[in-house]
Amino acid sequence: MTPEELLTEADRCVKCGLCLPECPTYRLLAHEADSPRGRISLMQALAAGEIDPGTGIEIHLDRCLGCRSCETACPSGVRYGLLLDASRNLIARRKPGGSGLRWLLTLLAEPRRLALVSRIYRPFRRGKIARWASTLLPRCYKRLPALGRQLAGTPALPAGLYPADQPKGRLVQLFTGCVASQVDQPLIDAGLALLRRLGYAVEIPQTQCCCGAMHRHNGAEEQAERYCETNRKQTAKSRAQALITLASACELELCEQQASNLPVVGITDLLLTQLDGGIPSLKPYPGRVAVHLPCSCHGDGGIALLQKIPQAEIIPLAENGLCCGAAGSYLLTQPELSRRLGRAKIEQLLASRADILITSNTGCALQFRQLLEEAGLDTRVMHPAELIHRQWPG
Ligand code: SF4
Ligand code: SF4
C-alpha cells in the first residue's frame, strides 16, 4: 500500500469513536493515542509526512495488538488491519533498523531456522542459563527463555507423502506452520493422524514455508510477499484437493493474501463436516471444556465440533471478543500489556471451572501455557483437533 492509498483508506474513518469500547488497549490505557481512532490519526500524519518515525508514533502503533476488534465494530468499514501493516512497513522503510527483537522474530519465523534454534536451546531450557537469561535480559527479551521452554527440540515432521489408513483416493496438503512445527507437535501429529484415519493421503511438501503473517505484521512486507509467492507456486504444482490448516492465524493469512492455489480449509471445519456425516461416535468426556476465540478465527473456535463429544460441557470463555494478548510477536514485544490481557483470561478460565482450555491458534496456546505455568495451574491447553483425536474411538 502506498502512502496515498493509505491516506485514501484512512479517510474513510469519520472519527465517530464507536470502535473505542472494543479496543483492548484503549480499555487498559484510556488514552486516545492508544485507541483505533487515535492511531488512525497518527497513521494519517505519518503518511502525509507531517510526522516522522522516531517522534513517538511507534510507541502507540507498537502497543496495538492488531486484533482488529475495531474493524468488526466500525460502521464505515475502515480496514484497520491494512492500515496498520502499511504504516509499520512505511516506518520500517523510512527508519531502517528498527527493533532488534522484531528483526530476531521475523528471522526465526521460518521452520528450518526455528528447528535449529530449538535443538540448540533445548538442553539449556530448564537450567541455570535460562534462569540467568530471564534475569539479565532487557525487558523486551525477558519472556524469551520461558517461551523457549515450549520448543520441542526435535525435528519438525518430515516433508513427504503420508498414506491414508484406508485409501479413498483423497489427497490433501497439510500446512504445518513455522512456530507450530516447534511448539505444537502434538497438534500436528493429531491433525495428521485424523486426516489419515478419515481416508486422506497427506502431503507435506519440502518447499512449503511460513505463511508470512509475522513478517507482514512487523513491517517486513517484502519478505511476507516472498513467502506467499513460494506457497502459491508450490500449491499450484500439487494434485491435492485442499490445503488443510491447523492454526487460525495461518489460515487467515493464507486466505487474505490468496497465498494458496488450493482451497484453504481449517481442520476444525473439515472435521465438523465429517462428524456431521455421522462418522464416528466419539468417546465421552465427562468434564468442562472452555473455548477461547482467537482474534484470527472467524468461526466459533470449534464449539460446534466439540459439542459432538458426548457428555462434554462446552463453555465459551467469558469476554471472548477480547484478545488474549498473544497477538503474534506482541507477547514478547509488549510483555506487560500482554500479561495483563492474558491474566484476565486466566481469571475467566478459573471462573469457568473448566479442566481443558481450547484454542485454535498456536500463539494463543503459547501465551496460555506460559501464564498457566506461572500461576501453578495444570489446566490442559489443546486445539479442538487434539481433543477430537483423544476422543476418537479405538
Ligand atoms: S487492532 Fe485491536 S488493539 Fe489495535 S486499535 Fe484495533 S482494537 Fe485496538
Ligand atoms: S475506525 Fe470506524 S468506528 Fe473507529 S472512529 Fe473511525 S469510523 Fe468510527
**What are the φ/ψ torsions at residue 204 (nearest 5 degrees)?**
-120, 100
Q: For the chain, which residues score pLDDT lower than 50?
A: none
3-state secondary structure of 175: strand
The Cα 385–Cα 187 span in angstroms is 7
H or E stretch at 342: helix 335-352
**Res 47: pLDDT:** 96
**Res 195: pLDDT:** 97
Does residue 139 line the site of ligand 2, with CB under 6 A? Answer: no
**Res 177: pLDDT:** 84
The Cα 342–Cα 349 span in angstroms is 11
Q: State how far the alpha carbon of 394 is from the alpha carbons of 164, 234, 271, 306, 391, in Å.
A: 17, 36, 17, 18, 9
Q: Best of 25, 57, 62 to mutate for ligand 1, by most ligand atoms within 8 A of CB?
A: 25
Q: How far is the CA of 269 from the centre of ligand 1 (A)?
A: 27
**Res 125: pLDDT:** 65
Tell me the β-bridge partners of 243.
173, 264
Domains in the chain, start-ordered, CATH in brackets?
3-94 (1.10.1060.10), 280-390 (3.40.50)
Ligand number nearest to the C-alpha of 88: 1
Q: Minimal CA–CA distance to 329: which of 247, 214, 246?
A: 214
Tell me the β-bridge partners of 162.
202
What nine digits make up the cell of 273? 463436516
Residues 6+ apart with CB under 8 A from 36: 19, 20, 23, 26, 70, 74, 80
Ligand 1, atom 4, lies closest to the CA of 64
What nine digits make up the cell of 53? 518515525
